Amino acid sequence: MLENFKDKQILILGMGKEGIDSYLALRKLFPHKVLAVGDKKKIGQFDKKIRAILAKDKNLKKYFGQNYLAKAGDYDLIIKTPGISRKERSSFLQGRSEAPSSRITSQAEIFYDNFPGLIIGVTGTKGKGTTSGLIYQILKTAGFKAFWLGNVGKPVLQYLLKAKPDHIAVYEISAQQLQGLKKSPQIAVFLNLFSDHLDYFVNFQDYTKAKANIAIHQTKNDFLIYNSDDSLVKKIAQQSKARKIAFSERKLKIVKGIINPKEIPLPGEFNQLNVLAAILATAPFNIPKEKIKKAIKNFHNLPHRLEFAGKYQGIEFYNNSMATVPETTILDLKTFNGRPISLIAGGSDKGSDYSLLAKEIAKSSVKNLIILGQGTGQKIEEGAKLLPQRKELRSFLAITMREAVKICCQQTPRNGVCLLSPASASFNMFKDYQDRGKQFKKWVKKYGQKSN
């Protein structure tokens, strides 16, 4: 399958989850081959387990720290992780005389080129983790040999080594992973598209172009399930040759024909659209309604995605640390509108426009705005307070998550909601969105135990 890599000089760039998976897969395939890995972080910044794995490999070249790209030009196959942007790649390609066989590839490209079964690719600015999980659950419940891949699911390349023709890969795929792909999945699901990752992409057009790769390389034998309520998604869908199945809020009756919305274990009306997309994506498999209903009822909400974190002193706590763009936080506020809300928001800036979120806060039932650290929180606060209808909005600055949760406990009335929905990335205060969400849950539990 990947035997044509055996004579290549291979460098794996980026040693996060995906990079480690690439390294382990290639080492399993080529036990004695000299490989190379590189990352902008220093080796001491990785956890002990990863350091130990790399240290015992005598056939491994390691490039870590500020100059990790210095030797990249010596390799004829570079497997880059999604975190490395085009701008970073260009820094070592400039002035380089490349051999005809030299190329930069990615896990996604390797997988699409070599997977022997059927791929269901799921993308969207938000909702792809939940939707891909639902698709996987429906297929597994119906008895198919389905595998869930991507940020939440299995590591991609290690799975590829044992993949079979009758396997179905449900692949949650981001814009960074889609960038540069020349193949699209047999079944593509496109949920939504709005501004995100502008700290990574050149501009919104560049981001949109990357997302479009989920659909534009499809053939007439493929399927595209797309959100026709989203004008940008609809425009991209028109470029696909696939058989198209549109979904929209007007078609939510399809969900109600299978399951009572009250039985769906996912908060928020917007999640009904994710359920609808999953139902339509599995339609080509002719799965009985009772199997679909069972799968949906048994689906567990993913961590950090409007996750219920507990109820203390009559206050409900919800963790949506995954809300890294304003549009997601707007949907969260609509979910709880009418109840007193204490909103924890703010983080590092990805170039998003916060004006619509400020308007939503102004007209919603948010009573307390807890600004988390220095960053986008100030933009959100200033925008909301400029609107005359929210002069009574109280705002607080929290330097730590502990302080933010403490303020929530003190200021939120009974029957109210404390909502972590930052509308921003996490990197100015936390390792990642998972770290942010875990800290929120930790302090909710600690303050909750004190109050009971």
Task: Return the residue matching tokens 């994710």.
Answer: 274
Amino acid identity, position 384: A
282 is in an annotated binding site: no
The residue among 413, 431, 411, 433 whose CA lies nearest residue 422 is: 433
Q: Give SS3 for 292.
A: helix
The residue among 332, 448, 315, 427 whose CA lies nearest residue 372 is: 427
Residue 401 · residue 378 · CB < 8 Å: no
416 is in an annotated binding site: no
Query: φ, ψ for residue 369 (rounded to 5)?
Result: -110, 115
128 is in an annotated binding site: yes
162 is in an annotated binding site: no
130 is in an annotated binding site: yes
CA distance 58 to 390: 63
CA distance 332 to 342: 12
CA distance 153 to 167: 15
Amino acid identity, position 260: N
Amino acid identity, position 193: L
Give one DSSP letter per residue of 307-326, joined into a string: EEEEEETTEEEEE-TT--SH
CB within 8 Å of 128: residues ≥ 6 apart: 122, 150, 172, 173, 174, 189, 191
Q: Give SS3 for 297.
A: helix
Return the DSSP state at 238.
T
In 173-261, the DSSP E strands lie at 187-190, 223-227, 243-247
Could you give the C-alpha distances from 354 to 31, 348, 351, 361, 424, in angstroms and in order? 50, 13, 9, 11, 10
The b/e string for 47-68 (b: 16+ C-beta within 10 A; e otherwise) is eeebeeebeeeeebeebbeeeb
Task: Return the residue matching tokens 């057009």.
Answer: 205
Return the DSSP state at 154.
B
Rounded to the nearest angstrom, the gap between the alpha carbon of residue 450 and the centroid of all alpha carbons in its chain is: 34
Report CA torsion sign: 75, 154, 126, 251: positive
Binding residues for ATP, by number, are: 124-130
Binding residues, by number, are: 124-130
